[in-house]
Chain A
C-alpha cells in the first residue's frame, strides 16, 4: 500500500506572493528609517550653523558703554564714561547698567522773599 503523505501548507504560488509582500514592508521600513536619519542629520547641521551665526553676531556688537555722574568742585554735575566696567566681555553683560542716583541739590536753590 502506498501511503501518500501529503502535507499541504499552501500552494507554491501563494507562498511566493506572501514572501513578496514581506520584502516590500521591509524595504519600506528601511527607506523610512534612512530618510529619517538623513533629515535629522541635515536639521542638526542647520541648527549648528545658526548658532555660529548668532555667536558671530553677538561678538561683532560694540561693547555697551556705561556712565557715571560726577560732581565738580563748582557744584556742576557732569556725565563721564565708567572705565571700571568697560573691559567686561559682552557675553557677561546681561543687565543695563544703572545710573547712580546722586542728590542734585545740596542746599536751597533760592529763597522766598516778601513782595
Chain B
C-alpha cells in the first residue's frame, strides 16, 4: 500500500511516498519531517540562528567550529565546486543579496522593487573557504558568505530517502529535487517533466527507480529589481544572473545532490558546453533552451503508457 506525506520545509513543498511500509508508518513519516526541519534549522541562510548564518556572521574572525551536519554539507559543496571547476560556487551569497534575493522567496514573491541594484563589492570564490578537518573548523575570509540552498536541499532529500528505504520503496521530492530508492512491485516511479513554458503541461514522464532527478530553471524565482528581471542563478564567471541560452535543465543522476549540482552547472554553461559537460560526467538530461527547443543528453527512461498532463 502507498503511504504519502506532504509538508512544507526549506521554503518549498516536500512530498514523501512510501510503499509497503509496516505498521510504524506514522513514526517513519514523522522522522522524515523531523530530518527536514533539522536540516533547515542548521543550513538555511534565511534563519539568523542557523549554524550557517552564524558561520557567515563570523567571516574574517578566524576558524569557527561548525556542527557535523553543516560540516558534511559544506564539504560536499566545496567538492562540487572543485568538480565543476567553480561553475557551481557556494560563495555567491552577497551577489544574490545584491540582486535583491535577500529574503526567502515566499517573502520576496513576484513583487517589483524600485530599488536600484548595486553591484556587489564583496569577493567570492569557493577556493577561499578554508576547511580544517581536525576539529571540524571552517574559516571564511572577511566579506565572504555562503549559500547552500540547492545542494542542502539535495543532500537532505538523499539523507531522508536513505533513512526511509529500510521500510520499503521510497520517493522523496523537495521542490523538484527528487530521489527514489526501490520500485513499488518492480514498477519505476513515474515523474512528469513539467513544461517550463506552460506549467499545466508535461513534456515527458520519467520512469525513476534507484536514482534521482533535479531541475534548474530561470523560469522560477524571478523578480523585478531596478527595472530589470532578475533570477537566482548567478554565474560566478560574471557575478551577474546567468544569460545562458538555456531556460531549464533536468538531469538524472544517482543522487539528488549530484543531479542538483549538475543541472545548475549545465544551465550556466549553456547548450553546447552544458551538453558536453553532462556527457563527460556520463549523466543523462533534458536541456530546454529559451526558445523552448529540447536537447536530449543520453536516453531518458520514460513511461509511454501513462497519461500526461
- Does B178 sit at the interface, judged by CB under 8 A? yes
Taking a contact as CB atoms under 8 Å apart, the answer to whether A112 and B1 are in contact is no
Taking a contact as CB atoms under 8 Å apart, the answer to whether A114 and B220 are in contact is yes
- Does A109 sit at the interface, judged by CB under 8 A? yes
Select the residue from A78, A106, A113 with max chain B CB neighbours within 10 A. A113
Chain A residue contacts of B173, Cβ below 8 A: 110
Given contacts A115-B214, A115-B260, contact A110 B185 (CB under 8 A): no
With both chains docked as a complex, state the minimum distance between the C-beta of A75 and any C-beta of chain B, in angstroms. 8
The 0/1 profile, CB within 8 Å of A marked 1, for residues 202-245 of chain B is 10011000000111111111000000000000000000000000
Please, how many angstroms separate the alpha-carbon atoms of A4 and B196 in the complex?
Answer: 141
The 0/1 profile, CB within 8 Å of B marked 1, for residues 60-94 of chain A is 00000000000000001110000000000000000
Taking a contact as CB atoms under 8 Å apart, the answer to whether A103 and B192 are in contact is no
Taking a contact as CB atoms under 8 Å apart, the answer to whether B205 and A108 are in contact is yes
Please, how many angstroms separate the alpha-carbon atoms of A105 and B190 in the complex?
Answer: 7
Taking a contact as CB atoms under 8 Å apart, the answer to whether B190 and A109 are in contact is yes
Number of residues from B at the complex interface, CB < 8 A: 43
Please, how many angstroms separate the alpha-carbon atoms of A107 and B217 in the complex?
Answer: 24
Chain B residue contacts of A106, Cβ below 8 A: 306-307
Taking a contact as CB atoms under 8 Å apart, the answer to whether B191 and A104 are in contact is no
Taking a contact as CB atoms under 8 Å apart, the answer to whether B191 and A76 are in contact is no
- Does A101 sit at the interface, judged by CB under 8 A? yes
Nearest chain A residue, comparing its CB with the CB of B169: A104
Chain A residue contacts of B184, Cβ below 8 A: 104-105
Nearest chain A residue, comparing its CB with the CB of B177: A115
- Does A26 sit at the interface, judged by CB under 8 A? no
Please, how many angstroms separate the alpha-carbon atoms of A99 and B219 in the complex?
Answer: 45
- Does A16 sit at the interface, judged by CB under 8 A? no
Taking a contact as CB atoms under 8 Å apart, the answer to whether A104 and B19 are in contact is yes
Select the residue from A101, A104, A111 with max chain B CB neighbours within 10 A. A111
Nearest chain B residue, comparing its CB with the CB of A79: B1
Select the residue from A78, A106, A112 with max chain B CB neighbours within 10 A. A112
Nearest 4 pairs between A and B by C-beta? Answer: A114-B217, A113-B176, A108-B192, A111-B192
14 more contacts with CB within 8 A, not counting A112-B194, A115-B221, are A105-B187, A107-B307, A110-B171, A110-B191, A111-B202, A111-B309, A112-B191, A113-B220, A114-B215, A114-B217, A114-B218, A114-B248, A115-B153, A115-B176
